[in-house]
A and B are shown apart, each in its own frame.
Chain A
Amino acid sequence: MRTPFYRHFGAFLAILAVTLGSAMADLTDDFTALQLRMNDTLLDVYAGEKIPPENTPAQGLKTLRGGLASDAAKAVIDRASAQAERQNVARQTGAARGAMQHVAALEMLRAQAVGQAAEARAWRACIALPKYANAVDGAMLLQQADIQHVKQPGVSRVLAREYISWQVMRARQLFDFLEQGVANGEATDAFVDAYSAEILSLTAFPAEILKTADLPATTQALPDHPALSAPFESEANQSALAQWRQNVEATLPNLLDPTDVTRLERLLVRFVKLVPREYRNGVHDGHITIMLEYREAKQFTEQSQALTNELAPVWRRDRTEAFTAHHQSLHEGLEALAMRIRRLAPPEAVEESAKKVQSLLEDEFQLSARRAGAKGDVIEETAIEVRTALIDSLAAAKADQWEEAESLRLDAYTSFDSEIEVRVLPRNSELGRRTERSFLDGTGHEPGIKALLDRHAPIEELTAGYERTLAALDESVGLLKVAVSPATITFTTFSIVAREGLEAVVVLAALLAGLRGAANAGTRRWISSGAWLALVASGITFWLSKTLIQSLARYGEKLEAVVSILAVIILLMVTNWVFHKFYWVGWNAKLRSLSKASQQNVSTRWEWLALLGVGFLTVYREGFETTLFMQSLLLEGSPKPVALGVLAAGAFIGLLGLAIFKFGAKLPYRKLLVVTGVLVVSIMVTFLGSTVRLFQTVGWIPIHPIEWLSLPAWTGVWLGLYPSWEGLLIPPLALVYVGGAWLWVRFQSRRSDAPAPRVEQPEKEVHSLAA
Chain B
Amino acid sequence: MKKFRGITTLRFRAAAALALTLLQASSFSVHAETTGLAAIKSYLVGKVTTMHKASHDFVTNAAAYEKIVKASGGDYNQAVLKDGDELLGLITKMQGDYRAIHNTGYETIEGIVAGVKPLVDFDTYLDAGVPKSEASTDSPASPLVLKSADGKTIVDHNGNLFHYVMEPALWGTRAVYVRPLSPEASAKAKGIKVVPRADVLAAASLECARKIDELLAASQRWQPTLDECVGALVWMTPTLNGYFEDWKDSRYNPNAALGRYVAESRVVDMRGIMFSLQLSYKAIMPEIAKKDAALARKLEQDYASILSFIDKVEAREKRGNKLTVQEIEEMAYQAKAMTDQLVPRLKQVVAILSLKLPPKPILA
Contact = CB atoms under 8 A, between A and B. Distances in A.
Interface of A: 15-16, 18-19, 21-23, 25-30, 32-34, 36-37, 39-40, 42-43, 46-48, 55, 60, 63-64, 66-67, 118, 121-122, 124-126, 128-136, 139-140, 143, 177, 181, 186, 188, 190-191, 288, 291, 294-295, 339, 341-344, 467, 471
Given A19-B17, A125-B298, A136-B351, A46 B330 contact: yes
A342 B294 contact: no
A164 B359 CA distance: 30
Contacts of B337: 128
Interface stretch (B163-171, B176-184, B185-193, B339-347): B339-347
By Cβ-Cβ distance, the 6 closest A-B pairs, closest first, are A122-B294, A125-B298, A46-B326, A22-B17, A15-B14, A139-B348
Interface string B288-306: 0001111101100100010
A139 B294 contact: no
A47 B294 contact: no
A26 B326 contact: no
Contacts of B323: 47
A63 B4 contact: yes
Contacts of B298: 32, 125-126
Interface in B305-364: 305, 312, 316, 321, 323-327, 329-331, 333-334, 337, 340-341, 344-345, 347-348, 351-352, 356, 359, 363-364
B176 to A, nearest CB: 27
B14 A139 contact: no
Nearest to A288: B363
A291 B363 contact: yes
Given A22-B20, A125-B292, 8 more contacts: A46-B330, A63-B3, A67-B6, A129-B341, A130-B340, A136-B347, A181-B329, A291-B359
Interface in B107-125: none
Nearest to B342: A129
Contact of B138 (A23, A46, A342): A342
B173 to A, nearest CB: 28
Given A128-B337, A139-B295, A143-B292, A291 B330 contact: no
Contacts of A186: 325-326, 329
B5 A26 contact: yes
Greatest chain A CB density within 10 A among B3, B21, B138, B330 is at B330
22 contacts: A18-B17, A19-B10, A27-B4, A43-B327, A47-B316, A47-B321, A48-B324, A121-B294, A125-B298, A129-B340, A130-B340, A132-B344, A135-B348, A139-B352, A186-B325, A190-B326, A191-B330, A291-B364, A294-B363, A339-B136, A342-B138, A471-B356
B257 interface: no
A653 to B, nearest CB: 40
B352 A143 contact: yes
A22 B13 contact: yes
A139 B4 contact: no
Contacts of B340: 129-131
B233 to A, nearest CB: 15
B29 interface: no
Nearest to A343: B136
B275 to A, nearest CB: 20
B137 interface: yes
A121 B4 CA distance: 20
A295 B292 contact: no
B2 interface: yes
A63 B5 CA distance: 10
A288 B324 CA distance: 46
B30 interface: no
B7 interface: yes
Contacts of A134: 344
Contacts of A30: 2-4
B218 interface: no
A37 B1 contact: yes
Interface size of B as a range: 35 or more
B304 to A, nearest CB: 10
B18 interface: yes
Given A342-B136, A344-B137, A135 B344 contact: yes
Nearest to A190: B326
Contacts of B295: 121, 125, 139
A55 B1 contact: yes
Contacts of B297: 25, 125
Interface in B5-35: 5-7, 10, 13-14, 16-18, 20-21
B140 to A, nearest CB: 10
A43 B331 contact: yes
Nearest to B331: A43
B306 to A, nearest CB: 11
B69 to A, nearest CB: 42
Contacts of B331: 43
A177 B359 CA distance: 31
A184 to B, nearest CB: 9
A23 B294 contact: no
Given A18-B18, A47-B324, A177 B333 contact: yes
Contacts of B1: 33-34, 37, 55, 60
A139 B351 contact: yes
A42 to B, nearest CB: 6
Given A135-B344, A190-B326, A39 B334 contact: yes
Contacts of B6: 66-67
B291 A143 contact: yes
Given A30-B2, A121-B294, A139-B292, A43 B330 contact: yes
B326 A118 contact: no
A295 B351 CA distance: 19
A667 B359 CA distance: 67
Nearest to A37: B1
Contacts of B137: 288, 341-344
Contacts of B327: 43, 46-47
Given A177-B333, A343-B137, A344-B137, A191 B326 contact: yes
Contacts of B351: 136, 139-140
A55 B1 CA distance: 7
A23 B324 CA distance: 40
A302 B287 CA distance: 31
B249 to A, nearest CB: 13
B359 A295 contact: yes
Q: Name which of B21, B323, B324 has the most chain A CB atoms within 10 A of its CB.
A: B324
Contacts of B364: 291
Contact of A42 (B10, B13, B321, B330): B330
A472 to B, nearest CB: 11
B20 to A, nearest CB: 7
A136 to B, nearest CB: 4
A46 B348 contact: no
Contacts of A125: 292, 294-295, 297-298, 345
Contacts of B341: 128-129, 133
A121 B359 CA distance: 28
Contacts of A128: 337, 341
B293 A118 contact: yes
Contacts of B20: 22
Contacts of B16: 22
Contacts of B356: 467, 471
B129 to A, nearest CB: 15
Nearest to B349: A139
Which of A32, A124, A139, A342 has the largest number of chain B CB atoms within 10 A?
A: A139
Contacts of A40: 312
Most B Cβ at <10 Å: residue of A28, A132, A135, A186: A135
A99 to B, nearest CB: 17
Nearest to A23: B7
A129 B2 contact: no
A317 B351 CA distance: 36
B2 A33 contact: yes
A34 B356 CA distance: 35
Contacts of A46: 324, 326-327, 330
B330 A129 contact: no
B281 to A, nearest CB: 15
